[in-house]
Amino acid sequence: MTLRYDAGELITAMVTPFDKDRAVDYKSVEKVSKHLLEQKTDAIIVAGTTGESPTLTHEEEQEILFCVKSTVSGACKVIMGAGSNSTETAVAASKKAQELGADAILSVVPYYNKPSQQGMIEHFGSIAKSVDIPIILYNIPGRTGVDMTPSTIAFLAKEYDNIVALKQSNPNLDLISEIRMLIPDDFAIYSGDDSLTLPMLSLGAHGVVSVASHVIGVEIKSMIRNFKSGQIAAAANMHKILYPLFKKIFMAPNPTPIKALLSKLDVIENYVRRPLIELDEKDRLELLECLKKIQERTEEK
């Protein structure tokens, strides 16, 4: 079955680099973009939660999109985080993303105001009718305070051809089975949590929207390819190797840990915008040691 839209198996939710004044560091945006291509990412999401979207201005988001698209020059897809808890704002952001050449948009369930399921249907329906580019739904009840149900996801998938995929950040794996049973075969599911990638693949997910792929993208891609080619034991073994880092990069609010690790690797400077605070040196070294152990184990294979 051909997907209605294939963003690839490994999508990276990209960090937004800042300088010491916590202004967007566009030279480092270019550097991270090139680094992610080396990590074998199939698509980059800009201005998502990992990109600290709550603290970015709309102008910054648009400039970051332009910068990433110019840097990757078609080597991977570029997806714009265009969600909002205001339907009017989400529609405007989605239209702007299409105007600026985004390959697709990621649209989160409205947060804080906790809409009903019918409210979600009307929210995403308004977005879908306003643009032609593909829309990836983003369900993350831990941040939004409300969960989009399988039946709502299925309705949207069937009603709107340009609603093409779901990023599911809910650890209840029964929901993946329920969603998969209800949605069309050409609608893609992505794990929204690195540690759940392999379990979700076994239940019919297509890939992952990853944070860890900033530093172990090649290994994650290998795990996915091994699973899909029937090398289940190899995929399971890679999962076990990578699992410690999957968990450690959430030792503090995302993206604080992954930014700290990227700074240790000299990809970016270690700055986040308030109210987030930078990880201390002890934790940065702990993360680096975890990554080195993974690299040693994968080199042995």
Q: Of the candidates 256, 254, 246, 252, which has an alpha carbon nearest to the alpha carbon of residue 220?
A: 246
Q: Which residues pair with 46 in a beta bridge?
A: 80
With a cut of 90, say whether residue 59 has pLDDT above it: yes
Place of tokens 């992610």: 36
Is the pLDDT at 300 greater than 80, yes or no?
no
Cis omega (within 30 of 0) on the bond before 17? no
Residue 239: its pLDDT value, please? 98
Q: Which residues of 48-73 are buried (b: 16+ CB within 10 A; e: fewer)?
A: bbbbbbeebeeebbbbbbbbbbebbe
Question: For 138-174, b where at least 16 C-beta lie within 10 A, e where not — what string?
Answer: bbbbeebebbbbbebbbbbbeeeebbbbbbbbbeebe
Contact partners, residue 56, CB within 8 Å, separation at least 6: 16, 24, 47, 64
Q: What residues pair up with 45 in beta bridges, in sequence order?
A: 13, 79
Cα–Cα distance for residue pair 37/43, rounded to 1 Å: 9
CA-based nearest residue to 107, from 178, 42, 70, 156: 156
252-299 tens-digit pLDDT: 999 999 999 999 999 999 999 999 999 999 999 999 999 999 999 888
**Which two three-digit tokens encode residue 188?**
């893609």
The residues pairing with 7 across neighbouring beta strands, listed in sequence order, are none
Tokens representing 11?
Answer: 């999508």
Which CATH superfamily groups domain 10-231? Aldolase class I (3.20.20.70)
Task: Tell me the catalytic residues.
Answer: 138, 167
Q: Give yes or no for residue 67 having a pLDDT over 90.
A: yes
Q: Which residue, 1, 81, 18, is CA-closest to 48? A: 81
Structural tokens at position 270 = 């270690």
Domain boundaries, the chain: 10-231
pLDDT band at 301 (very low <50, low <70, confident <90, very high): low
Look over the chain and give the mean of its residue pLDDT values, rounded to a whole number: 97
What is the C-alpha end-to-end distance of the chain, expressed in Å?
33
CA distance 197 to 46: 21
What are the helix (H) ranges across 100-136? 117-130
pTM: 0.96
- Report which of 20, 87, 79, 91 is spatially closest to residue 50, judged by C-alpha positions: 79
Q: What per-residue confidence (pLDDT) applies to 160?
A: 98
112: region left, alpha or beta (phi > 0 left; psi from -120 to 50 alpha)? left
Q: How many whole angstroms separate alpha carbon 19 and alpha carbon 21?
A: 5
Q: What is the mean pLDDT of residues 78-83?
A: 97
pLDDT tens digits, 164-211: 999 999 999 999 999 999 999 999 999 999 999 999 999 999 999 999
How far apart are alpha carbons 56 and 58 in whole angstroms? 7
d(CA 225, CA 230): 9
